Amino acid sequence: MPLLRSELSSSHVAEHLSALTEKVDEIAQRAGVSAVARLDLETTLAALPWPSRRRLRLVLESARVGTGDKAVGEAVAVMLALSADVWARTPPPGESDRGGSQG
């Protein structure tokens, strides 16, 4: 996924992406996601249960709205796009297990 075009240094944006990745891992740990399911960012995002996905989205949106730093804003935009892509392809754990048994 390419970074958004800007005059920002890619290393500055990468630093913020690294910090956001740590936040994703922290949220996943709190949600009880196993270390094996947190080996990389995409698998961590896919392993998040629905409430943690919602929480992460709120954290990211809050960071996006609350910053004046363009590098932070760009890093958040990249993380929001990646999480949306992963979540569109991967239902939260347990969702596919329930199937039609809700009721």
Q: What is the pLDDT of residue 101?
A: 41
pLDDT tens digits for 77-103?
999 999 999 999 999 988 655 444 443
Q: What is the pLDDT of residue 5?
A: 52
Q: What is the pLDDT of residue 95?
A: 67
Domain residue ranges in the chain: 10-90
In this prediction, the residues of the chain whose per-residue pLDDT falls under 70 are 1-8, 95-103
DSSP the chain: -PPPP-SS-HHHHHHHHHHHHHHHHHHHHHTT--SGGGSSHHHHHHH--HHHHHHHHHHHHHHHHH---HHHHHHHHHHHHHHHHHHHHSPPTTHHHHTT---
